[in-house]
Amino acid sequence: MHLPHALARFHPRLLDTCRDYSRARFWRDAGAGVTVGIVALPLAMAFAIASGMKPEAGLWTAIIAGFLISLLGGSNVQIGGPAGAFIVVVYGIIERHGLANLLISTSLAGVLLFLMGLLRLGTLVRYVPVTIVVGFTNGIAVLIALSQMKDWLGLQVPRMPADFFSQLNTLWLHRGSFNPAAFGLGLACVVGLFAWPWLWGRKHRFQATLDDIPGMRRAWRATSRLPGPVVALVTLTLLAWVLGLQVETIGSRFGTIPTGLPELALPDFSWETAKHLLNPTLTIALLGAVESLLCARVADQISNTPRHDPNQELMAQGVANFVTPLFGGMPATGTIARTVTNIRSGASSPVSGLVHAVTLALIVLLAAPLALLIPLPVLAGILLFVAWNMGEWHEFADLKHYSGHYRLVMLGTFVLTVVFDLTVAIEVGLLLACALFIRRMSSLFSVAPLPGQGPELRFQLYGALFFGAVDRIDRLVSAVEQAPPGTRVVLEAHQLIALDSTGVDALRQLHRVVRQHGGTLHLEGLQPQPHDLARRSGLSAELAAAQAEAQAQNDTSPGL
């Protein structure tokens, strides 16, 4: 079916991959997919638990959404699934609206994401200022870290509130239930995750020793490829079990993890309910779009694969977020950590993402009971490490190098994300960014007087004459009023790069004043865009008619 030019074509990247796919390429993709599937296991459970959901919700989100995003997406190597950025959003929605309404909001957000891609709005996400992205990303990282304090410290808190100050107050009130064993496990997890890449990055120091021990070099190489979160999960779970540490585990909090396939269950949907879910729906859709396309851009920069199709990627994200809640899942988006792991493991096509989902499904179906022994402080430590890597903390130190506008937008978005919520932060951040951009652009427009000939006022226009800069044209009115009657006013516009309808209206008002004083207004050297708008708005015709009328009067005046 032929689609109008305004609509994007639904064309998954996997179709292009299948044209020249080889067996060797498949085995590389399969190896990368298995690696990412193992990495996704602890992260999916941790994200779900931190979001106020059961661990299986995160697991099946990673499986179903991850499969659909790779199957239908517009990127060769992006891995989709539950993401840390959604923890705060999902937890807040569950607290305010309940789990059922979260599922409805996620499906509605999926519809919005698909429409965004279909209407070719994927490129617009790139125009979100980096100050806003950095601000809300750092804010989310702070909130993720705060949300893990309860499990890391082993505090006996029945239910954590959703907002920042209430969480701080709750943690303080329950400080007496501090569990040293839980804190020790979480601390060991964080330290181990930071030390793991550092340790293997210095293997050259032990190279001589390795060469002297038979088989050790190969074992060292195999061990260095193990993902840090998986190593921490296995070793610290065994340590807690062997020592009999009294810490809360997945099994003690959630009972069991179902080993069968999830059942399809339609949420109780009504338009009356949907009306109250507009804000959560927009939040999930906007965050999902921004996160997925930012992740895809990162993947483009570090891989040798073709650049992603943002509109196709949004349509795939939409399908995934519409379907996943039908099986009790949570919102999904592109995930930077798993995507980077996928690329570094040798992936070159969406097949690796499909294998990642299948691998994770097999682990869940065959080894889910083992996950019940995982201590929650260990998952908290993994999320603290995720939060640290998510934040771009160096941006705070670099603020001194930027303008006050940059600082205001970034810090404002950061504070609003932490204190209020992501939607408010992005809305206010965009408004601030637009207002400050208008102010900056208006300061670039100027009007400079030039020497005239005889009864003439001549000015040079610089920059863009738009609604934020028309006050400078208004200042010319006083100059015209003080000039002798019949003064010719010339605006040299060869350095006027842009003009909008408000600028046209300001020029019309100036023309009116000039005519009242018996003079004429001339625009000289208009660039293509200002010239075209002046012609279409009728301003050029008005000026030409006034000039012709003045010339006719001069020709018929006595003594001429």
Domains of the chain: 24-146+153-254+266-390 (no CATH), 445-552 (3.30.750.24)
pLDDT, averaged across the chain: 86
Q: How many residues does the chain have?
A: 560
Looking at residue 207, its pLDDT comes to 53
Mean of pLDDT values over 68-79: 94
Looking at residue 395, its pLDDT comes to 85
Q: Is 484 helix (H, G, I), strand (E, B) or coil?
A: coil
Question: What's the pLDDT band for 189 if we cut at 50, 70, 90?
Answer: very high
Alpha carbon separation from 547 to 29, 311, 540 (Å, rounded): 73, 51, 11
Joined together, the tokens standing for residue 28 give 């590389």
Q: Of residues 198 and 277, which shows the higher confidence score?
A: 277
DSSP letters of 406-421?
HHHHHHHHHHHHHHS-
Looking at residue 484, its pLDDT comes to 86
Say how far apart CA 204 and CA 210 lie, in whole Å. 9
Reported as a single tens digit per residue, the pLDDT across 267-289 is: 776 777 777 888 899 989 988 99
User: Which runs of consecutive H residues, i.e. helices, occur in 52-129?
Assistant: 55-72, 86-97, 99-118
Partners of 521 in the β-ladder: 489
Alpha carbon separation from 181 to 20, 152, 153, 248, 383 (Å, rounded): 54, 10, 9, 10, 18
Question: φ, ψ for residue 456 (rounded to 5)?
Answer: -145, 140
Q: DSSP secondary-structure letter at 2?
A: P
Q: For residues 427 and 136, is the Cβ–Cβ distance under 8 A?
A: no
Tokens 């516009």 map to which residue?
Answer: 493
- What percent of the chain has a predicted confidence (pLDDT) above 90? 34
Alpha carbon separation from 8 to 3, 145, 199 (Å, rounded): 8, 39, 47
Reported as a single tens digit per residue, the pLDDT across 139-169 is: 888 988 898 899 999 999 888 887 888 889 9
Looking at residue 211, its pLDDT comes to 55
Mean of pLDDT values over 458-481: 86
Q: Is 266 helix (H, G, I), strand (E, B) or coil?
A: coil
Reported as a single tens digit per residue, the pLDDT across 56-71 is: 999 999 999 999 999 9
Torsion of CA 356, 105, 157, 154, to 10 degrees: 20
Joined together, the tokens standing for residue 478 give 């006083």
pLDDT score of 204 more than 60: no
Say how far apart CA 322 and CA 69 lie, in whole Å. 12
Reported as a single tens digit per residue, the pLDDT across 234-270 is: 899 999 999 998 999 888 888 777 777 788 877 776 7
What pTM does this model have? 0.77
Mean of pLDDT values over 520-537: 91
Which residues are CB-contacts of 282 (< 8 A; sequence separation ≥ 6)?
109, 112, 423
Looking at residue 371, its pLDDT comes to 82
Q: Counting Cβ atoms within 10 Å, is residue 407 exposed (0-12), middle (13-18) or buried (19+)?
A: middle
CA Rg value for the chain: 31
Reported as a single tens digit per residue, the pLDDT across 87-107 is: 888 988 998 888 889 999 999
CA 370 to chain centre: 35
Joined together, the tokens standing for residue 506 give 């300001």
The Cβ of residue 96 has, within 10 Å, a number of other Cβ atoms equal to 14
Question: What's the pLDDT band for 560 if we cut at 50, 70, 90?
Answer: very low
CA angle 458, 461, 464 (to 5 degrees): 160
